[in-house]
Structure 1
Amino acid sequence: MHISLQLPTFDYDDIGGSVARIARTADDAGFYSMWVMDHFFQLGGDLLGPPENNMLEAYTTLGYIAAATERMKLGTLVTGVIYRNPAMLAKIISTLDVLSGGRAYLGIGAAWYEREANALGFTYPSTKERFEWLEEALQIVHQMWDEGNNGPYEGKHFQLKETMNHPQPISQPHPPIMIGGMGEQKTLRMVAQYADATNLFARAGLDVLKHKLDVLRQHCEDVGRNYDDIEKTCLATAFDGDLQTPESLVKLCQDLRGIGIEHVIFNMPHPETIKPLETISEQVIPAVSDL
């Protein structure tokens, strides 16, 4: 089982120094990957804080983290499809992959944070239309990452005259595509059809997660996809609420692995103190590495 780090907050006195220190520590400590949110306002809530709290632009931050690290894979959890033209997004991920030595993921979803979209002037169409955008974006990314296909793309919402993309990503056949969300009719169907990984939420509980994976398995059968080829990931919070001890984190990982989750991404309060990263490195990663 892989253990990874999500960094969703940036309220540090020295933002750049703290982010670099967290990233280097996680890289040295054996975390498999590192993720940031693709938002412009903070999300609210007791863990993350009010919308006015600091939030860094995701891909600038990932480029900075890439330069500070050597091994961890890097991605957004997850990019809202409304924030960037899909061709530009494919180019951004290609660039991150090339400059990081083949460590990029593309995390993507249909977007949901209407307040920040309206505040900053992003188009925020209906749920139905955002999922249409998402499907077309996935098709465009696949076409741009097919070096032999420089043809046009004609969609309902996006039209490209060419899909040339040089340099192509280092990752083969392309950077893994992770779709975030648990919707059964659209999101998980798109995972089966277009993605290499799914990201679910641990807070939903084991029974719900198992059901979602069963739905994904059926979608895979429907589209002729090998279910085992899709990486099953889950986002969880460490050292908050019921997950206060390394032992409870190990137990959570064991339970998640038992239903088919292969990769757990943890966020946590105050990673800038470094202590929670060291604790996970010393007491959790070794205990679950063979699961």
Structure 2
Amino acid sequence: MIEVAIMIEGQDGIDWPRWKKIVRTVEDSGYAALHRSDHFTNPSGPVKDALELWTSLTWLAENTERIEFGPLVTPVSFRHPVITAWQAAAVDNLAGGRLRLGLGAGWQEREHEAFGFDLLDTERRFARFEEGLEVVTRLLRGTEPASFEGKFYRLREALLLPRPARPGGPPIVIGGNGVRRTLPLAARYADEWNGLFLDAKGFAGLSARLDGMLEEAGRRPEEVRRSLMVRAVFGRTERRVREKLGGVSREDLEAQGAVVGTAGEFVERLGELQEAGAQRVMLQWLETEDLEGMEELASEVLPQL
């Protein structure tokens, strides 16, 4: 059965009261997981409340018992991979092994310029990301002190203690659709690949490309879990769906992979994604004040999957 999770944009007006309500709703409604972005701001528009990632996940780890959780994704461009590995191991241990560690290269120009971080051009950005993945995996997966000499990062007999409670530490999630850079990195480092804003056909195609890269890397395709993040616009009635669309074209959103509609339409689309190989779908829920809708989706859709 396909798993359904919620994905929140943590920079889009999320403060402590709202975050706590979202966490409780996801935990109590039966969703598999809660994932969130790691940004200072949105790419454009007014600056809103943005709850810091690891602080928020630490609270979640201590105040939930069931759901998995993690960043989609935390970038190496403004978070040093050594610190990220240290924090991830600690939070995963606190949660009893429920963190899934999403890592990325960074992409948003606005936040990097505002806070003084170097985004770099695409080639160097992904070179830095690959080194960051090497650092994180050596620190979390190895049992002996790690050394590494790169252009951006280095380790000298480095060992994080206490060790992750799970052998190998929290699973590494790499998200993105790029066949030249992202998928090869997923084939080498990831425990889970997360596609972005794809329909069933597009997801199946990229997943098949990943299978080939995994085999070339000497790994079995089943070693890497497959998940997908898509925009979700749900309403109990068609009228409610139209209200939430607010004049935005439903067809345009669906062309971008969004799942739009009432319970029956969600069940059908999620079924298509499951047939395409998706094991988990993260529903990007932008209407964070609409917790009633989140509960309605869980009660009407999840039992039918």
Could you tell me the TM-score, scaled by structure 1's length? 0.90
Moved over 4 A (4+): 9-12
Q: Secondary structure at the match of 1:161?
A: strand
Q: Is the 8 A contact 1:35 1:76 kept in 2?
A: yes
Q: Is the 8 A contact 1:217 1:227 kept in 2?
A: yes
2-11 vs 161-170, which moves further? 2-11
Could you say which residue in structure 1 is the equivalent of 2:281?
264
Question: For residues 178 and 120 of structure 1, what CA distance do their matches in structure 2 show?
Answer: 26
Deviations 1:237-291 (A, max 9, x none): 2226541212221111111111111100012243333212211221222222xxx
Deviations 1:50-75 (A, max 9, x none): 24122222111111222221111111
Distance 1:51 1:189, change over 3 A: farther
Question: For residues 169 and 266 of structure 2, what CA distance do their matches in structure 1 show?
Answer: 32
Q: Secondary structure at the match of 1:145?
A: helix
The aligned runs of 1:1-291 (5 Å cut-off) are: 1-9=2-10, 15-44=15-44, 50-202=45-197, 204-239=198-233, 241=245, 242=250, 243-288=260-305
Q: Percent identity?
A: 30
Question: For residues 139 and 286 of structure 2, what CA distance do their matches in structure 1 show?
Answer: 38
Distance 1:98 1:9, change over 3 A: closer
Q: Is the 8 A contact 1:238 1:249 kept in 2?
A: no
Q: Which amino acid aligns with 2:169?
A: H
Q: Is the 8 A contact 2:71 2:100 kept in 1?
A: yes
Question: For residues 150 and 10 of structure 2, what CA distance do their matches in structure 1 show?
Answer: 36
Question: For residues 286 and 163 of structure 1, what CA distance do their matches in structure 2 show?
Answer: 47
Question: For residues 157 and 15 of structure 1, what CA distance do their matches in structure 2 show?
Answer: 33
Distance 1:172 1:31, change over 3 A: farther
Q: Is the 8 A contact 2:177 2:206 kept in 1?
A: yes
Deviations 1:180-199 (A, max 9, x none): 11110111011111101111
Q: Which amino acid aligns with 1:194?
A: Y
Q: Is the 8 A contact 2:15 2:49 kept in 1?
A: no
Question: For residues 149 and 95 of structure 1, what CA distance do their matches in structure 2 show?
Answer: 18
Unpaired segments ≥5 residues, structure 1? 45-49
Q: Which amino acid aligns with 1:236?
A: V
Could you say which residue in structure 2 is the equivalent of 1:47?
none
Unpaired segments ≥5 residues, structure 2? 234-243, 251-259
Q: Is the 8 A contact 2:9 2:286 kept in 1?
A: no
186-195 vs 35-44, which moves further? 35-44
Q: Is the 8 A contact 1:41 1:52 kept in 2?
A: yes
Distance 1:149 1:17, change over 3 A: same
Question: For residues 62 and 70 of structure 1, what CA distance do their matches in structure 2 show?
Answer: 13
Question: For residues 211 and 53 of structure 2, what CA distance do their matches in structure 1 show?
Answer: 31
Question: For residues 51 and 102 of structure 1, what CA distance do their matches in structure 2 show?
Answer: 37
